[in-house]
Structure 1
Amino acid sequence: MAYFPFFIDIKNKKCIIYGGGKVAYRKIEALLDFEADITVIAPVVSEEIAALEGRIHINIGEYGEKELEDAFFVIAATNNSAINEMIAKNCRDRKILVNVVDELSKCDFLFPAYIKKGSISIGVTTSGQSPVMAGHIRKTISDNLPDTYEALVETLGGYREYVKNNVSSESERADIMKELARLGLNNNGKLNGLDVQNVISKYMK
């Protein structure tokens, strides 16, 4: 079974991570890229996690259900499978999305191998079948992704709102953005202001 690739805004969303070891640290590193509000709960945390104090919240202690209040999603990364299973059950009872490390059947969502360049996010998953292959595919894509794409996406995003506000037809707006993307791709990610105005003006007459 393949997993549908939802892309969700997790900026400032409350994430609880149970566990303070290497696995938890890898999850934290990924989530910090997307500005989640992270709280780590564990009896002991690694030096790497402790060094993140200030960027994340750290609560030294055992698992307790009260910390689940208002959580947007949860990661169970303890070294105790029984506790991880309990966390998963309690999350599901509360309809909170949960990821249980190395327990695919207990996961509501998976962590992809991902690429993030500015506003570009690309996630790769093998639906838990082969994380090694997911990493290989991610590297293949990353190695072939032109550096110019990041700047072009930002530029197109800047024009998108202007086009939306000044061109009433949805199909014409789509045509404009396609033409601007084509121009940018043909010019190493850059858009000439005059060319942009010429494209837009054709639909504003």
Structure 2
Amino acid sequence: MGAKYPPIQGGGSLILAWQIKGRRVLIVGGGEVAAGRIVNVLNADAKVIVVAPFDGLNDEVAYRVAQGQVEHVNRKFEPSDLDNIDMVLTAVDDPEASSQIYRLCKERRIAANIADVPPECDFYFGSVHRDGPLQIMVSTNGNGPRLANIVRRQIAKNLPDNIGAAITKVGQLRRKLRKIAPEEEEGPKRMKWMSKVCDSWSLEDLVDMEEKDMEALLGYYHPNAVPSLDNLRLGEEPGIYQFDGSFGWM
């Protein structure tokens, strides 16, 4: 009976898209690893505080400081730096100091990542492919960061060049759909109809979709139909072309 359920593999991580917009992220260190961490959290719209002596900043971190992209504290770490902090990332060549910071974070229940010390990480940074709103992360659970990069590049090589633009258009269509069918009880129908659109239109169709096409396509929502892009532009009446989600047009 249990064969129909997915097996439990164990030993993995719960991979999440962590929303840290506006959160205060402390980065201890100013070298190459810190520079990479800064990019990661700035891309997630976090507020970044870097604690490190100025003479220890590499060129990229110094640039972020000069541009006002991050707040800089020009000294070594002190426990008070953890006040009002939501996340901590350490990138210093001092294992003892890093472990002390991790212990302080545990006492304050602050999520922390200690660079290159997997047992002292509440989360890992995977290798990420980014194309507009699309983010794909490959994680080896701390076992092989270099291998994660190789796998990520292989995945990215097999993705269509325009997939990010297609996703952007789908997001625009979803927001428009919510305006014409905002009721909570419409939620399941909205999800199923958007699934039909994504299943029946190619990525090229989604990229090619214009504002006027979205407005016309939304006219097919209430009759629960999805025309092809060509038929949509020919002005076919809503309800003529029905997509069953698996076998094409009916």
TM-score (norm 1): 0.90
Which residue number corresponds to residue 158 of structure 2?
Answer: 144
**1:200 equivalenced with 2:221 (yes/no):** yes
Query: Structure 1 residue 198: deviation in Å?
Result: 4.6
**1:170 equivalenced with 2:166 (yes/no):** no
Which residue number corresponds to residue 89 of structure 1?
Answer: 103
Which residue number corresponds to residue 198 of structure 2?
Answer: 181
- Closer/same/farther in 2, CA of residues 199 and 104 from structure 1, 3 Å limit: same
2:51–2:77 contact (8 Å) kept in structure 1 = yes
Structure with more relative contact order (C-alpha pairs < 8 Å, separation 6 or more): 1
Code of the aligned partner of 2:20: I
Which one of the candidate residues 59, 62, 86 is aligned to 1:47? 59
Partners of 1:186 and 1:45 in 2: how far apart? 43
Identity of aligned residues (%): 23
Moved more, 170-179 or 158-167: 158-167
**1:128 equivalenced with 2:142 (yes/no):** yes
Code of the aligned partner of 1:15: V
Which one of the candidate residues 70, 83, 89 is aligned to 1:69? 83
Which residue number corresponds to residue 104 of structure 1?
Answer: 118
Partners of 2:28 and 2:203 in 1: how far apart? 48
Which residue number corresponds to residue 30 of structure 2?
Answer: 20
Query: Structure 1 residue 32: deviation in Å?
Result: 2.2
- Closer/same/farther in 2, CA of residues 159 and 194 from structure 1, 3 Å limit: closer
Q: Number of paired residues? A: 205
Gaps of 5+ in 2: 1-10, 226-238, 240-250
Query: Structure 1 residue 177: deviation in Å?
Result: 0.2
Structure 1 consecutive aligned stretches of length 4 or more whose deviation exceeds 6 Å: none
Partners of 2:85 and 2:191 in 1: how far apart? 38
Partners of 1:162 and 1:25 in 2: how far apart? 38
TM-score (norm 2): 0.75
Q: Secondary structure at the match of 1:52?
A: helix
